[in-house]
Chains A and B, each alone.
Chain A
């Protein structure tokens, strides 16, 4: 590894530890490396930072956030919870299953796990608490279930990965469907086992008429995911176009069909979406700047050579990458980890003959686990603040869910067909 790249890496690490926002730390560290190389072309800095943020595929990020928030304020959560209750409320530990299934439906509308945890946690944690579930258990369920949001499309981390790794966003979305369902089922399995052990109640008996009634009430809420998935799967829309259509559809459903969306909240929603995307995009732009510097320094290529000289076994390399991402996921936000690590890892991934879509899905599932593991655990911390429980209390239940997630991660890692099966239908 070149000295300049080493210096810039070290600078980034120190600046992040000093508490400087990750995006600015990346840019400053890169600049330090360039100055050390004597490439004092300071005028490149604003150009690179601007060009890193100026990306049409990434336009999907603010628009998916916007569509999700409009749906959130349109009274769909209530209807989705009703539908999920009719569907899985009869299983022991009913509300836990309802939370997980609602979260899977919700995941089709929003691409952010923190948003899901906040939206569902405020409704379902008090409900579970009233039914006699421990609040800490409720928090563990909601927090783990919210992670499905980044695996089931649309998914903001997947957009970030697809653009950085130069693969199709649509293929990533399609690849996430089966792993996402698997993830949900694994969490339901854990909830069932815990429900038996702690004698959690059943919610309601299963009646087909009730399923149908609640489905009809919730049906409009499904139009948005239908447009997104249908449009992208059939190749009619690009992901960005789908995000734009999703905003329009969400407004139509909220304003004219459910009539629960208050247009006066739109300016604040626009502002929130702007800031949430900006916070991610600053890191994206700075990473692009750093990425181009590192590949000039041949860092990713040398990393690939170094690893491949040790072993060319694809399964071993995938295992190794998983360990790297699990560690990265503990100390970095998933978005930051993706845009920082993807450019460095891609030459290795391609040289080892790993399908980049399979790798991307694996990385997403892996970093989903990272959202649950302190010190940086955005989803978990959001949820426990809603549930008003401590980290220690949640950790009475959370390890069971984490274990299930690791099992899913191993399945996704070592059975590529789970990610690539559906993708091969459209390739």
Chain B
């Protein structure tokens, strides 16, 4: 739990840095072009890379906060249990997609490790590294949601006076035992991993 919060915090700090860097790089480019009369060779490329990093790391935080643009009007109108099934199904599809992106992103990052960016000495493997990094973290976000719900459900209602709205689906699911043994094992593994790394 603490490790998870720490990860989100770290990504948030990184986003502040990246956006701050963007706000410095672009005006610096303007300064070089109009005041010094010599365009900054790496300004545009670095700006574009920063935006891609902001996009996917921002995607991690948005997933944690439930801030992505989605059409959930239909799912929210479903009766209780069906709604939980729909939420679990959509989380599973997303998790599968992120795992695929993690795997293929790692391949790409390794393949491009030796290649350099056009205008600066930056290995493209590291630049593309945001894809596996962000997709791995998004799997963690999804897994954590269910791990927390499971922990709360098994700790009993007394210890869970306040369940965040976003967790309600997972909470109910775990409580109803709808997910079956496999998911429970995943939850346990996530918790164990979080605690192991935390120590």
Contacts and interface: CB of A to CB of B under 8 A. Distances in A.
Contacts of A53: 51-52, 55-56
Contacts of A22: 68-71
* Residue picked from B34, B69, B105, B107, most chain A C-beta under 10 Å: B69
A45 B74 CA distance: 29
Interface residues of B, number: 61
Contact of A45 (B27, B87, B104): B104
B39 to A, nearest CB: 11
A361 interface: no
Contacts of A58: 51
A18 B51 contact: no
A62 B51 contact: yes
* Residue picked from B16, B70, B94, most chain A C-beta under 10 Å: B70
* Residue picked from A54, A247, A280, A375, most chain B C-beta under 10 Å: A54
B56 A21 contact: no
A53 B137 CA distance: 18
Given A20-B90, A63-B23, A50 B52 contact: yes
Given A19-B72, A243-B26, A244-B26, A66 B51 contact: no
A275 B58 CA distance: 5
Contacts, number: 188
A270 interface: yes
Contacts of A273: 19
B143 interface: no
5 contacts: A20-B70, A28-B93, A244-B23, A274-B18, A279-B68
* Residue picked from A18, A236, A331, A336, most chain B C-beta under 10 Å: A18
A248 B47 contact: no
A62 B30 contact: no
Interface string B19-35: 11011011101100110
Given A15-B90, A27-B97, A275-B62, A54 B54 contact: no
B69 A336 contact: yes
B199 to A, nearest CB: 29
Contacts of A66: 19, 23
Nearest to A57: B48
B71 A47 contact: no
Interface of A: 15-24, 27-28, 31, 42-43, 45-47, 49-50, 53-56, 58-59, 62-63, 66, 236-237, 240-241, 243-245, 247-248, 267, 270-271, 273-275, 277-283, 285, 331-333, 335-336, 375-376
B81 interface: no
Given A18-B90, A62-B51, 14 more contacts: A17-B71, A19-B74, A20-B90, A45-B100, A50-B130, A53-B51, A54-B52, A267-B16, A270-B23, A271-B16, A275-B15, A278-B59, A278-B61, A279-B69
B59 A282 contact: yes
A72 to B, nearest CB: 16
Interface in B105-146: 105, 107-108, 111, 128, 130-132
Interface string B42-68: 001101111110111111011101011
Contact of A241 (B29, B90, B94): B29
A21 B49 contact: no
B101 interface: yes
A245 B26 CA distance: 8
